[in-house]
Structure formats: C-alpha cells, structure tokens
Amino acid sequence: MNTANKLTMLRVFLIPVFLVVLYLEFPFHMIFALTVFILASVTDFVDGYIARHYNLVTDFGKFMDPLADKMLVMAALLWFVEVGRLPAWALLIVVVREFAVTGLRLIAVEGGRVIAAAWSGKVKTASTMVCICLMLVFVSPVLDGLCGAVIVATTLYSGVEYFVKNRDVIDWSKV
C-alpha cells in the first residue's frame, strides 16, 4: 500500500476516533474532536497531492479517497443533527446529492466516460469542512444557521452543476 493510500486509511481510522471524542464529554473534548477532524481533513489534501505528484494514483485510492471524505463529513453532520444543531433536511440534501452524483458517475463509467471532480465539488468539500470546524469551536445558533446555509447552498450548486455539465450522460428519452 503506497503512502497516499495509507493516509486515506488513516482518515478512515480517525472517523470513529472523532466520534468517540465527540460523545465522551470530558474537559476540552471539543478541542480534541476539532484536532482529530482537522488532522483527518488534512490527510485528504496531502494524500491527493502525494498521489498526483508522485504518480501513485491507484484504483483503490480513486474509490476509497472520496468515500473516506464522505464518511468523515457525514459522521460530523450526523452528530450535529443528533445534538440539534443542524436540521435533518439539510443533511438529507447532502446525502441525496452524494448519491445522485455517484449514480451519475456510475452511469458515465458504463458509457466509458469518467466524470472528474468539478471545481464546485472541491469548494463544497472545503467549505463544508471549514463550517464543521467552526461549528466544533463555537456553539452559536446564528453560526450554526449560517454554516448550515453555506453547506446546503454549496451542495445544491455543485450537484446541479454536475448534472448540467454532464446532462448528456443520461438518455432522458428513455426515462
């Protein structure tokens, strides 16, 4: 297993650690949770850089890296829903977008086409991770609402963009 893939697996391993730290309420547990979340988020950037820079891109990495990102973000957002800081409908929008884009990519692959990550998807991921960090540090209904709005807006925009730019992937006459 190459270094990039090891970092991806580290991110996967850090997800339950992150959740355990969130649920165990001990002094400064939120600072520890934030630290674990930031460390896991940074591995996303670093493993991608290493894989591209040193030509270590693997099928495992192509599959596991985006999955690890989604698992990390979903874990955090689920916790915010559970503690009443994010409405469930906002998380539903995120989940539906992820399933829809994944489905679009699967259809494209069947046709011999790969849909690369769009810039808006990268902005969505980065802004969501920043919002999660802010929400871990500050408990504020105003900030929670603002972050929820940013997450929903970037999620919707990137999801619509994927479908508009790749509308030819689906044969709508057969739907």
pLDDT, tens digit, 9 for 90 and up, residues 100-141: 999 998 898 888 888 877 899 889 999 999 999 999 999 999
SS3 (DSSP) at 57: coil
**DSSP tag of 86:** S
**Does residue 77 form part of some domain?**
no
- pTM for the model stands at 0.91
Enclosing domain of residue 163: 84-169
CB distance 120 to 161 below 8 Å: yes
Q: Which residues contact 131 (CB under 8 A, 6 or more apart)?
A: 147, 148, 150, 151
Both tokens of 75, joined, read: 């874990």
Same domain, 165 and 88: yes
**Number of structural domains the chain divides into:** 2
Percentage helix, strand, coil for the chain under 3-state DSSP, each rounded to 5: 80, 0, 20
Q: CA 72, CA 67: separation in Å to the nearest integer?
A: 9
**62-103 confidence digits (pLDDT tens):** 788 888 999 999 999 999 999 999 999 999 999 999 999 999
